[in-house]
A and B are shown apart, each in its own frame.
Chain A
Amino acid sequence: MSPLRSKSSLAGLWFLAFCALALAVSQHFELALCADARHATLRELVRAERDAEVVFVGSSQTARGVMPALFDQRAKELLGRDVRSVNLSTFGNARHISYLTLERWLERHPSPSVVYVECGVLSDVPEYPHKTLTRFGKPLDALAMAWERPYEFIDGREFVRFEKSGAGFDMGGIFHAWSVAQLNVDLALDVLGRGPEDCVRTLANFALERGASPYWMPGEPKMRAEIARQVEERGYFRIELDSAEGSEAHRSVEKQAAAVSYERALAAEWKGSDDFADPARFRVTRLYAEKLARLCRERGIRLVFLDQPNFRGRPLRPAQIAFYRSLGELFLQDKSVLYREESFLDSGHLSVAGAEFASRALAEHFATLK
């Protein structure tokens, strides 16, 4: 008998067939495997029944830095009518996930009038994928990724190494091109191979929770009592500056405040080479900004890029500003207010006070849009 028709070979082929079937079936469980809070948040947000006029997408900077309730309230004051916004940002979301999030939202809801997409020095730096990707992409997204090869580095360590010493011996770029292709194929296969995992998780969830909870092995949330108290009192949860977690995080702000004065930070301009101008760099940032712009254009949505500042850090590069302005509008927050210590929880994220200011400022910007 031919080796290819042996029992083990057939078992291998059946395995592939079952995996493909599982992948096809799992497409019906929207975000079935909410393996952590981010997936769960996205799932809930995307499934929310209410539509929105304004949508925010981005990373933890926007998740913490924009408060939809305050935005809605201020917009109502200014426009004299109800405005509803939704913040679809979750921690660790790179631009790619923002794009996928918006796509999923638009599959279930009418187009909003405005979409704010986070950009900024912190959002645009890492050119490596985030773990959320494999939990949020669909097979077609995976194939597109293998084809487009947006990611260059597997993690931050490799990125830093590359920044420090360059590609080194690279045979005319062949080695780097191979690594990039291999990384993206690997990521795509992770998405394509998740079908059996999704099915097993869903089955286990059904058996254990009788379908009551969509989440896989929910862990005990940290600070459950504090979250409940704050939600009861004011409708949302934020880490307060005077809490243990808040003061721990705030140390980076104090350190930065000691190193860079308020005046110096306000006057700062981008120094050094403008690496954003190099078309070979920031591939994932550019690619998915362009895709977002295309998506918004097709749906008649106004696209605004929202610069999320870091505390007294580096400003946007000139090429970054030009790039975003070529795709849509760019909204810059008023740093003269935000560069105060109480506005930031840590050097990358706004505090409650900072988020309140930023949300109102955004509503004021929204009110000026025609």
Chain B
Amino acid sequence: MAFNSTEFVCFFLLVYFGYWALARQRRASIVWLVLASCVFYAGWNVKFLGLILVSASLDWICGGAIHRSDSPRVRRAWLATSLIGNLGLLGYFKYFNFFAENIARGLAAAGFERASTFVPWDIVLPAGISFYTFQTLSYTFDIYRRQLAPARTPLDFFLFVSFFPQLVAGPIVRATDFLPQLDTPARHDEGRVARGLYRIVTGLAKKVLLADVIGKHLVDPVFADPAAHGAQGIALGCSGALFQFYLDFSAYSDVAIGAAACLGFELCENFERPFLAQSISDFWRRWHMSLSNWFRDYVFLPLGGRGAHRLEFLRNLMGTMLLTGLWHGAGWNYVIWGLMHGVFTFVGAAFGTPARREERAAPPLWERVARRAGVFGVVAFSMLFFRNGTLAEGNRGLAGSLEMLRLLCTLSPGTGAAVMSSAGLVALCVAALIHFTPRAWPHEVLRARWLALPAVAQGLCLCLFAGTLGALSYAKAPFIYFQF
């Protein structure tokens, strides 16, 4: 059930009215949300609902056992059980074919001829598995670290895992943030609901009017035929791809956060204007924040963080970024993309000026602009690998990335058969303008105007907005991060 579908609009209105009708009976309203989340997920694939149940049950049991035990050995054993169970499921569904194929290829190269006959298994990737697995893992980790008490009831825990706004593509919510919200009675805060509704609208607009247009008219043509577009076109295509991914994913997060707000829940933010970052590490503090915070808290810091010396820092950082790359997908493109970011971050953090804003005096404007342009350029360059790893149109895999890299490095002029349209460029300029405009305008001005409208005018605007999005949408293009 995609957010940009009529089905979701009807579903959400039903859930919203049902939830607030039941809000005085907290248990009933939680049961309602759990049922709604199951229906929402069953819209993708009803069979994999059982998988969420297995994953959630495992962590419910492990979390409880860890909490009850005082023996470090027993606690570690339960933690390992949770880790093996969750990563086992994720590994099978997401990574089995990748590793098996590469091992088979390696064995075939070493002379084991039978290995060359390996045929990838027909494994369907369950929607959202990377997201909810990380959520359930964080629950067990937090209990293990004694930062969290287990959820009061299995129902509360299952709602934390399966809460439909963030189930399929995040943000990756922490139990420490979510579970306490279930302990307080649901209170309808009109201001929050109205802001949530506005956020849903802006998220969908971002997706349909900007991300999809940039993707269809600018990025897809370049990645489908890079030789025709030449180095300039590839550079533009990579910049477009970076904006497309940002707009698409942040749009999903907007709808998720807005939908949760309409139901009285607060989810963590996922993006903080990432292209204002002045270093790569700053970029990762602004981009897919729920994931980068997860890796920071559960991988990078436990490995030793910045460590005592640069080599230790490099090891921990590269390990974390390699896993970040692999989290996005089972493919060499993602591995290279993750490692590239690791190297960029290391170079910036180890040899540059302190990355944290509070640690340094504000640099002059020219330096800020140069730094931002540099960070944008480097991240856009990495899209050469990332975009070719996704299932998007024109994906040409690792070979395609290397070919584009060659064209870029040789400053290829292109064959002159480029098919990029001006609509993509216009959308890219609008997106950049909005991104770099101070927050007070237009977001807050527009929001204030929206909130001031009477209900009937809001209803009419929503109807016109739905019609406009429908008329302009490109066959309801799915959100890109669903495939992760």
Contacts and interface: CB of A to CB of B under 8 A. Distances in A.
A6 B451 CA distance: 13
A168 B50 CA distance: 14
A185 B190 contact: no
A360 B290 CA distance: 67
Contacts of B481: none
A196 interface: yes
B27 to A, nearest CB: 18
Given A4-B21, A8-B190, A8-B262, A14 B460 contact: yes
A7 interface: yes
Centre residue among B43, B45, B124, B467 by max chain A CB count within 10 A: B467
Interface residues of B, number: 40
Nearest to B188: A3
A10 B455 contact: yes
Interface in A1-16: 3-4, 6-16
Contacts of A10: 455-456, 459
B17 A200 contact: no
Interface stretch (A100-108, A174-182, A243-251): A174-182
A161 B122 contact: yes
A204 B464 CA distance: 12
Given A15-B462, A190-B5, A190-B6, A8 B471 contact: no
Contacts of A200: 464, 467-468, 470-471
Centre residue among B42, B43, B454, B471 by max chain A CB count within 10 A: B471
A12 B470 CA distance: 18
Centre residue among B6, B7, B9, B197 by max chain A CB count within 10 A: B6
Interface in A151-196: 161, 164-165, 168-169, 175, 178-179, 182, 185-186, 189-190, 192-196
A192 B6 contact: yes
A186 B8 CA distance: 9
B224 to A, nearest CB: 18
Nearest to B192: A8
A249 to B, nearest CB: 21
Interface in A300-323: none
A196 B7 contact: no
B46 to A, nearest CB: 5
Given A178-B46, A194-B470, A197-B467, A11 B462 contact: yes
Interface residues of A, number: 44
Contact of B46 (A8, A179, A185): A179
A214 B471 CA distance: 15
Contact of B455 (A7, A193, A197, A199): A7
B308 to A, nearest CB: 52
B440 interface: no
A15 B459 contact: yes
Nearest to A16: B13
A189 B6 contact: yes
Main secondary structure of the interface of B (DSSP, over half): helix
B23 A15 contact: no
A193 B9 contact: yes
Contact of B20 (A9, A189, A204): A9
Contact of B459 (A13, A186, A197): A13
Given A14-B456, A178-B46, A216 B471 contact: yes
A219 to B, nearest CB: 11
Interface string B1-29: 10001110110010011001101000000
B258 to A, nearest CB: 11
A18 interface: yes
A16 B462 CA distance: 9
B446 interface: no
Centre residue among A14, A165, A216 by max chain B CB count within 10 A: A14
Given A8-B194, A200-B468, A175 B459 contact: no
Interface string A22-42: 100000000001000000000
A131 B475 CA distance: 9
Contact of B470 (A8, A179, A185, A196): A196
25 contacts: A3-B23, A6-B193, A8-B262, A9-B17, A9-B20, A10-B455, A11-B458, A12-B13, A14-B456, A15-B462, A16-B13, A16-B459, A18-B462, A161-B124, A165-B122, A179-B45, A179-B46, A186-B43, A189-B10, A193-B10, A194-B470, A196-B470, A197-B470, A198-B467, A204-B471
Q: Which 8 A-B pairs have the closest CB atoms?
A: A14-B459, A193-B6, A196-B467, A197-B470, A200-B467, A3-B188, A18-B463, A3-B20
